[in-house]
Amino acid sequence: MNQLSRILSWVFIPLNAPVFALLIAAYVPSDTVWERNEVIYLIPEDWKLLLLLMFGFFSILIPSFTILFLRYSGAITTVMMDSRKERMIPSFFVNVSAIALFYLVQLKDPENRLPTAVYALTIGSFATVFICTIITQWWKVSLHAAGMGILTGFLFAYYAGLDFYTFWILPVTLIVSGIVMSARIYLGKHSLAQCLVGYSIGVAALTLSVLLFRY
């Protein structure tokens, strides 16, 4: 059980959440009879690949290399940043990277032809990390739970605006979120309250972002 919990913690590290969300929206069938330009699944394949590369680079690679650099320079003791105080500097770089991603997407899409949900995903993820960073100054909120909140909030809000989508994705997302949070609690990294707060922040930030960009 301990080993499984550690594996889940690595697979569902918070940095992966926006990429997982984009992967599901881009490759799991969905459609609408109204605003088809809002459906990520329907955008050209080359755009999907480009978006995944950009999200992977700014959401995963840059923050990961930053965390590794801080780890080997001695600024933090573990790459999982178990200490609350060690999370401030890495969180700052994650926020900067999220802002850079948003502006790069805009640069590549000057006529705003991409679905608004793509922009909502970048801003909502930034807002989640930013809020968690502020709270972390006083309390160790769960970033893993916040990442699962990003995934859940985005998928539920995004699919709510479509007519056709693969329904089973939503309950599976809820179940996986519960499993990941349980793993963090089992490992003794967070309390139930810390997980619930982190998850709620992610869900709320992404839901609001999707709705605001859509309407």
Cα separation, 111 vs 106, in Å, equals: 9
Q: Distance of CA 144 to CAs 96, 125, 126, 148, 206, Å?
A: 19, 13, 15, 6, 15
* Domain hosting residue 107, numbered range: 2-214
Burial (Cβ within 10 Å: 0-12, 13-18, ≥19) of residue 111? exposed
C-alpha distances (whole Å) from 193 to each of 24, 45, 129, 197 are 28, 41, 18, 6
Helices 45-55 and 88-108, axial angle in degrees (round to 10): 160
Handedness of CA 204, 207, 213, 215 (dihedral sign): negative
Neighbour count for residue 160 (Cβ, 10 Å): 13
State how many domains the chain has.
1
202: closest CA among 134, 138, 137, 124?
124
Residue 15 and residue 200: Cα distance in Å, rounded?
17
Name the 3-class secondary structure at 44.
coil
Written as tens digits, the pLDDT of the chain (215 aa) is: 778 878 888 888 888 999 999 999 999 999 987 788 899 999 999 999 999 999 999 888 888 888 777 777 766 666 665 666 666 777 777 888 888 888 888 888 877 789 999 999 999 999 999 999 889 888 889 999 999 999 999 999 999 999 999 999 999 999 999 999 999 999 888 899 999 999 999 999 999 999 999 87
Residue 128 to residue 102: CA distance in whole angstroms: 14
Location of structure tokens 């539920």? 156
